[in-house]
Structure 1
Amino acid sequence: MELAFLLFISIVVLAIIFDYINGFHDAANAIATVVSTKVLSPRIAVIYGASLNVVGALLGTQVATTIGTGLVETQAVTSQVLLSALVSAIVWNLLTWFKGLPSSSSHALMGSLMGATAFAAGSSSLHWDKIIEKVIIPTFSSPIIGLVLGYFVMVALYWLLHKVSLPIVNRWFSKLQIISAGYMAITHGANDAQKTMGIIALAVATYYQTPFHVSAWIIIVCALAMGLGTVAGGWKIIRTVGSKMVKLKPLQGFAAEATGGTILFLTAHLGIPVSTTHTITTSIMGVGSAQRFSALRPKVVMNIMAAWVVTLPTTFFLAGGLFWLMQKCFTLP
Structure 2
Amino acid sequence: MAIDILTILFLAVLLLAFGFTLTNGLHDASSVVATFISCGAATPVQAVSLAAVFELLGALFSGHAVANTITSIGKLPTDLHVLPVILAALLGAVIWNVVTWNFGLPSSSTHALVGGLVGAIWAAYGAGHIVWGWNELLAPPHQLSGFLKVVVSLLVSPLAGFIAGYGLQKISLVLLRRARFSTMNRKLKRFQWLMAALLAFGHGGNDSQKTIGLIGAVLVAAQMSPAGLPLWVRISVGLLMSAGMLSGGWRIMRTVGRGIYDVRPLHSLVSQVAAGGSVVIATMLGAPVSTTHVVVGSVTGVGGAEEYRMVNWRMGQDILIAWVVTIPAAALMASISYLFLHPILGG
Compute the TM-score of the two structures, normalised by the length of structure 1: 0.95
For 1:69-88, list aligned pairs within 5 A. 70-75=72-77, 78-88=82-92
| 1:177 equivalent among 192, 200, 210 | 192
| 1:92 equivalent among 93, 96, 103 | 96
Q: Deviations over 1:118-169 (max 9, x none)?
A: 1101111111112354211122211111111110010011111111111122
Is contact 2:31–2:252 with CA below 8 Å preserved after alignment? no
For 1:1-333, list aligned pairs within 5 A. 1-59=3-61, 60-68=63-71, 70-75=72-77, 78-129=82-133, 130-208=145-223, 213-328=228-343, 330-332=344-346
Greater Cα shift, 218-227 or 236-245: 218-227
Q: Do the aligned partners of residues 125 and 213 (structure 1) sit closer, same or farther apart at CA in structure 2, a change above 3 Å counting?
A: farther
Equivalences, count = 331
1:325 is displaced (CA, Å) by 1.8
**Aligned partner of 2:345: which letter?**
T
| Identity of matched residues, % | 34
Is contact 1:46–1:233 with CA below 8 Å preserved after alignment? no
Is contact 2:162–2:300 with CA below 8 Å preserved after alignment? yes
State the Cα RMSD in Å: 1.7
Unaligned runs of 5+ in 2: 134-144
Cα distance in 1 for partners of 2:226, 2:303 equals: 47
Is contact 2:86–2:117 with CA below 8 Å preserved after alignment? yes
**Aligned partner of 2:18: which letter?**
I
Cα distance in 2 for partners of 1:125, 1:206 equals: 18
1:90 is displaced (CA, Å) by 0.8
SS at match of 2:211: helix
Cα distance in 1 for partners of 2:163, 2:109 equals: 23
Cα distance in 2 for partners of 1:212, 1:119 equals: 32
Unaligned runs of 5+ in 1: none
**Aligned partner of 2:256: which letter?**
V
Is contact 1:37–1:248 with CA below 8 Å preserved after alignment? yes
Greater Cα shift, 20-29 or 88-97: 20-29
Q: Deviations over 1:220-252 (max 9, x none)?
A: 221121122222241000000000111111111
Cα distance in 2 for partners of 1:178, 1:2 equals: 49
**Aligned partner of 1:55: which letter?**
L
SS at match of 1:39: coil
Compute the TM-score of the two structures, normalised by the length of structure 2: 0.91
**Aligned partner of 1:290: which letter?**
A
**Aligned partner of 1:241: which letter?**
V
**Aligned partner of 2:103: which letter?**
K
